[in-house]
Amino acid sequence: MRLAPDALPALLELVIVLAVLAMALQLLRLNAWRAWLFLFPHQVRLLPEAPSEPPAPLAAWTQQLRALGFVPVGAHVQKSPLQRGTPSYDFAHQGERTFATLYLSLRGQPRLYLLTPLAGGDAVLTDGALATRGGVAPPPEALLQTHRARLVGLSPEGEFTAAGRLVAGRSWFQGRGQREIRRQSVPGLLWTLVALAMVVYLFVGGRTV
């Protein structure tokens, strides 16, 4: 059975429309939650998680933190309305007056950041993901040295316990953390706008099949 000559362009156009629509939906699936966080950063929630051992990909990092004097204090989940949330594993160092948090990125790569609450509700956060070079994150010892330098002249404050970690994290997300969330969410916002523009073009501005 042969298609009529005038049916081939219409069939090709239909395939293109479906391919573009699938691409737009995939972009929305991957980035809509980041766009939401850009608009509503205050909706991030930190919830306590039942204590458990970090997964195997974080085992080496856990050992390095223990060697530096960090001890496990619990776990938490960072959630937003469009995101299921990823478990994070918390450690504390009383002498350094610093929390360390391990988690797996969306690509399954180990990530680490250090957090020290300050007097007045502020905090210093040193994120290893931001210092990654060539796809390799700095080791805990190097990140701790950077964090120490950023704390010079400042006054850490708070309890370095599981409860204190939640308080420090929630305080950060209600203050300086909102600016950081928006900064990290800009690419997601842009890709979401691109996806929405593709959908609008298909159904409003594009040619009909």
Tokens of 113: 């950041």
Specify whether the CB–CB gap between 99 and 88 falls below 8 A.
no
Tens-digit pLDDT string for the chain (209 aa):
454 555 567 777 777 778 888 898 898 988 888 898 899 988 888 899 887 889 999 999 999 999 999 999 999 998 888 777 889 999 999 999 999 999 998 788 899 999 999 988 889 999 987 666 555 778 999 999 999 999 999 999 999 999 999 999 998 888 888 888 888 889 999 999 999 998 888 877 654 44
123 to each of 13, 36, 87, 144, 185, how far by Cα in Å? 54, 24, 21, 15, 21
* DSSP designation for 49: E
Predicted model pTM: 0.79
Rounded Cα distance, 45 and 48, in Å: 10
Position 209 scores a pLDDT of 42
CA pair distance 69, 194, nearest whole angstrom? 46
pLDDT for the residue numbered 208: 44
pLDDT value of position 8: 60
What is the DSSP track for 59-115? HHHHHHHHHTT-EEEEEEEEEETTEEEEEEEEEEETTTTEEEEEEE-TTS-EEEEEE
